[in-house]
Amino acid sequence: MRIEFLSHPGCPNAAAARDVLSECLNALGIRAPVTDRVGDFPSPSILINSIDAMRPGALPAGRSCRLDLPTRAMVLAAPQQAAAVEH
């Protein structure tokens, strides 16, 4: 499983989203490494096997500040959604 945390410098929501990601990975027992990428992305974004946990049908594009955080439910569901796409 490939897990990426995307943000841009100075994103005010990055730390809180990172905490949600860590909590969910621990709850699911997932020990995969998280790749942190800083650049021109919708920030914060959590990708599981290249699928955005907040918008599973869309690819992140362009720098923007997301006003909402990924919810615990979104992040917990993301590995299952990614697995369904792979099969």
Beta pairing class for 34-38 and 3-7: parallel
Q: Quick one: which of 52, 48, 55 has its CA closest to 83?
A: 48
pLDDT of residue 44: 92
Low-confidence ranges of the chain (pLDDT < 70): 56-64, 83-87
Q: Quick one: which of 64, 83, 82, 73 has its CA closest to 27?
A: 73
pTM attached to this predicted model: 0.83
- 6: tokens are 């995307």
The domain locations on the chain are: 3-83
pLDDT of residue 16: 94
Helix segments in 1-87, DSSP class H: 14-28, 72-86
Q: 58-69, pLDDT tens digit by residue?
A: 555 666 677 778
Distance from C-alpha of 48 to C-alpha of 34, rounded to nearest angstrom: 10
